[in-house]
């Protein structure tokens, strides 16, 4: 059975001055899914997100959150939405707890119990009574998520959630978002300009460029046949001979070789290399960079 | 709505703005008290060391003598009677007329701070109430809650009105407590002359009457509060329209100062009386000082201020609910 649609965007447009910034976006989010919003800076990600959360009025089109129109039934729609737009800009002069209290007071029926719950959920219980200005970026990010979860939303919108986090923090955030989607059944919309991040986190991706959606697909589909393998081998000439008998190769400037990636064939090629007496120092998979993907999908229409 | 106002109050208190304002008022009151004290001292030196009661008694005898004379006009007689009443009061209540008590100090303080100092303090709070949310970025969190935008703004406005009332109360209490140390806490019932009317034919004293100081003060406080609310609303509007707190403050400051300057030179430019900033000295009408422009009186000034107030409110609410937030 198809899962319920929690966020439906139809033919969304925004004109600022004479320029059309967003040129008709249509996409859906389903229950329990992490949806990636991928595009270079300036593609219209943030403008779109701001329209989704009601900060900017769309010029045309409709946004429905749990079947409530964001413009006409603002309160009902917002009751089902949690969001962080860009950085979680909380009040630095208040304690974490008071920040949560502040936003809890703006939602009906959310009391201290829920504040305690979300604090524990994001693991901030120790520092919750300290002023936010003493928090690290990662803690602020977590407090931001706690704030977004206060109203038990069905849809969570996170704009660049891993921005500025260290690798450990990024991993933690990723696990947390997956947990929310899989265990709590939230629909999460995540925007990013990093393909690697979207790939690890999302189920489906919309690639957006210059205000239009270039493609919506599952991550597997999008990346299929686009991964490459990097080989560092010696002696180089002999290795080249062996590999080129299986597939086409590309020689890089730093003395490594680039081939296609194939789940079954790549280990086999490695075996053959070793058999032929070539020592393999390094093999790794390489993601296509966003720019390459863009070139491919848009036919040369890259970042403005 | 209550919870929203609680929120705004929490932020206001956490920012410690009110504490800063109370400190500023405190320091200024100390300064003014000292200045006033010096003034009284010089006056006393000029008058000599003789007991002020004897001097006052002499004055009363003089006035009574002049009243019994038949040559003076009725109007003049009335004035003399008023001043006689005043002098008698001072004598009866053991108040030295050249030495003000704390209530007199409050009155002088309020009258001289109504057009610049109190509005300035109000501005400190009003001008960043909305724009600080913009510069902090928290506006994005504030406006994505299940609360309509006009409610968010209204909660901020009510908070502003509460803060203004608090500032004026602080000003009153501090000036009473601090100046009382030097001048004594007496003088609530002292009679004050009011009811002057400046008309085309000159000063009309037909409605002049004596009012106890505490009644007079109550009216003064009301007028100051009214002016503060209007100025606060105007800076509040600027705070909505201009995202930068500094720019909003600058505009408001320029307007207030230009008002003080215009007051001294617009007597021939009649339409200048529709500016809000030349209408701020409401307490002057109570004292009977001539208005800066002919045709201005208490009700006219209040009308002008009310119109500015309504316009500012309407603009604030429309702009805030309609504007895209980036």
Residue A64 is classified by DSSP as E
pLDDT band at A303 (very low <50, low <70, confident <90, very high): very low
Residue A95 is classified by DSSP as B
Ranges in chain A annotated CATH 3.40.50.300:
5-223
Structure token pair of residue A71: 């413009």
* Residue extents of the structural domains in chain B: 2-27+101-322
Domain A228-286 belongs in CATH node 3.30.420: no
In A209-240, which positions are buried (b, 16+ CB within 10 angstroms) versus exposed (e)?
bbbbbbebeebeebbeeebebbbbbeeeeebb
**Backbone region of residue B106 per phi and psi (left: phi > 0; alpha: psi in -120 to 50; beta: other values):** alpha
Q: Answer for the pair B171, B113: CB distance below 8 angstroms, yes or no.
A: yes
Among B3, B147, B324, beta carbon nearest to A55: B324
Nearest residue to A100 (alpha-carbon basis) of A68, A57, A130 = A130
Q: What is the pTM of this model?
A: 0.84
Average pLDDT value for residue range A198-216: 87
Q: CA–CA separation, B24 vs B175, rounded Å?
A: 12
Q: CA–CA separation, B323 vs B326, rounded Å?
A: 9
Quote the pLDDT of residue B158: 96
Q: How far is B213 from chain A (nearest CA, A)?
A: 43
Average pLDDT value for residue range A97-109: 92
Ranges in chain A annotated CATH 3.30.70:
228-286
Q: CA–CA separation, A190 vs A84, rounded Å?
A: 10
Quote the pLDDT of residue B201: 55
Residue A304 has pLDDT above 50, yes or no: no
pLDDT in tens, chain B (326 residues): 889 999 999 999 998 888 999 999 999 999 998 988 888 788 777 766 667 778 788 888 888 888 887 777 776 777 777 777 777 777 777 766 666 688 888 888 888 888 889 999 999 889 888 998 988 889 999 999 999 999 999 999 999 999 999 999 999 999 999 988 888 887 787 777 676 665 555 556 666 677 788 888 899 999 999 999 999 999 999 999 988 888 989 999 999 988 888 877 766 777 888 888 888 888 888 776 667 777 788 889 999 999 999 999 999 999 999 888 87
Tokens 């085309």 locate to B200
Q: Which residues of B touch A74 (CB under 8 A)?
A: 146, 148
Q: Which residues of A touch B144 (CB under 8 A)?
A: 53-55, 78, 81, 83, 85
Contact criterion met (CB < 8 Å) for B145 and A56: no
Q: Tell me phi and psi for residue B197, to 5 degrees.
A: -130, 120
Give the contacts of B140 (CB within 8 A, at least 6 positions apart).
A50, A53, A55, A85, A86, A89, B325
In terms of average pLDDT, the best of A158-167, A169-178, B264-273 is A169-178
Give every strand in the sheet of A212-218, ordered side by side.
A81-84, A155-159, A187-192, A34-38, A204-209, A212-218
Number of A–B residue contacts, CB under 8 Å: 81
- A239-249 pLDDT, tens digit per residue, is 888 888 888 88
Among A55, A57, A151, beta carbon nearest to B140: A55
Tokens 């002919």 locate to B294
Q: Which residues of B touch A77 (CB under 8 A)?
A: 146
Q: Which residues of A touch B132 (CB under 8 A)?
A: none
- A1-55 pLDDT, tens digit per residue, is 567 889 999 999 999 888 888 998 999 999 999 999 888 877 888 899 999 999 9
Which numeric CATH code is attached to A5-223? 3.40.50.300
- A114-159 pLDDT, tens digit per residue, is 999 999 988 888 899 999 999 988 888 889 999 999 989 999 999 8
| B11–chain A Cβ distance below 8 A for any pair | yes
Q: CA–CA separation, A140 vs A138, rounded Å?
A: 5
Residue A22 C-alpha from the chain's centroid: 19
Find, in chain B, the residue whose alpha carbon is nearest to that of A95: B14
Those of residues 132-151 in B touching chain A at CB distance below 8 A are 136-138, 140-148
């Amino acid at each position: 059975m198809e899962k319920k649609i929690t966020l439906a965007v139809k033919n969304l447009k925004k004109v600022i001055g004479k320029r059309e910034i967003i040129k008709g976006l249509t996409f859906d989010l389903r229950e329990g899914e992490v949806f990636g919003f991928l595009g270079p800076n300036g593609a219209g990600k943030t403008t779109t997100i701001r329209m989704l959360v009601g900060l900017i009025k769309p010029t045309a089109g409709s946004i429905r959150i749990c079947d409530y129109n964001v413009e006409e039934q603002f309160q009902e729609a917002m009751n089902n939405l949690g969001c962080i737009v860009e950085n979680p800009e909380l009040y630095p002069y208040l304690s974490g707890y008071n920040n949560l209290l502040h936003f809890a007071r703006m939602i009906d029926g959310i009391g201290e119990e829920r504040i305690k719950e979300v604090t524990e959920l994001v693991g901030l219980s120790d520092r919750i009574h300290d002023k936010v200005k003493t928090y690290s970026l990662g803690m602020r990010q977590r407090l931001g998520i706690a704030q977004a979860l206060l109203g038990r939303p069905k849809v969570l919108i996170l704009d660049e959630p891993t921005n500025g986090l260290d690798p450990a923090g990024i991993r933690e955030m990723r696990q947390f978002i997956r947990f929310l989607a899989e265990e709590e059944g939230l629909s999460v919309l995540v925007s990013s300009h990093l393909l690697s991040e979207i790939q690890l986190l999302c189920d489906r991706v919309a690639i957006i460029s210059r205000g239009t959606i270039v493609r919506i697909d599952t991550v597997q589909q999008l990346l299929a046949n686009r991964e490459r393998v990097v080989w560092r081998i010696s002696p180089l000439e002999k290795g080249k001979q062996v590999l080129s008998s299986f597939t086409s190769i590309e020689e890089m400037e730093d003395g490594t070789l680039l081939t296609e990636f194939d789940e079954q064939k790549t280990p086999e090629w490695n075996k053959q290399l070793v058999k032929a007496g070539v020592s393999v120092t390094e093999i790794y998979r390489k993601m296509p960079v966003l720019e390459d993907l863009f070139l491919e999908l848009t036919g040369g229409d890259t970042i403005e | 709505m209550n919870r929203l106002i609680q929120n705004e109050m929490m932020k206001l208190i956490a920012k410690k703005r009110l504490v800063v304002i109370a400190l500023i008022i405190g320091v200024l009151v100390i300064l003014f008290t000292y200045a006033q004290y010096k003034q009284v001292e010089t006056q006393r030196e000029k008058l000599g060391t003789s007991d002020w009661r004897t001097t006052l008694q002499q004055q009363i005898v003089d006035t009574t003598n002049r009243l019994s004379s038949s040559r003076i006009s009725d109007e003049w007689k009335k004035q003399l009677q008023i001043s006689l009443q005043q002098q008698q009061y001072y004598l009866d209540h053991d108040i030295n007329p050249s030495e003000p008590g704390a209530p007199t100090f409050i009155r002088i303080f309020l009258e001289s701070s109504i057009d610049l100092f109190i509005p300035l303090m109000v501005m400190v709070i009003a001008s960043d109430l909305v724009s600080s949310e913009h510069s902090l970025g928290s506006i994005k969190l504030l406006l994505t809650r299940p609360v309509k935008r006009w409610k968010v703004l209204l909660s901020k406005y009510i908070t502003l009105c509460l803060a203004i009332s608090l500032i004026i109360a602080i000003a009153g209490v501090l000036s009473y407590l601090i100046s009382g140390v030097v001048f004594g806490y007496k003088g609530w019932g002292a009679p004050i002359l009011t009811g002057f009317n400046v008309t085309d034919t000159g000063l009309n004293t037909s409605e002049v009457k004596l009012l106890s100081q505490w009644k007079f003060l109550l009216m003064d406080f009301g007028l100051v509060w009214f002016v503060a609310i209007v100025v606060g609303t105007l800076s509040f509007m600027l705070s909505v329209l201009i995202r930068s707190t500094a720019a909003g403050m600058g505009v408001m400051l320029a307007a207030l100062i230009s008002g003080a300057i215009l007051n001294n030179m617009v007597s021939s430019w009649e339409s200048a009386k529709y500016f809000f900033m030349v209408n701020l000295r409401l307490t002057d009408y109570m004292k009977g000082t001539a208005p800066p422009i002919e045709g201005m009186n208490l009700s006219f000034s209040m009308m002008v201020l009310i119109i500015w107030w309504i316009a500012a409110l309407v603009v604030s609410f429309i702009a805030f609910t309609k504007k895209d937030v980036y």
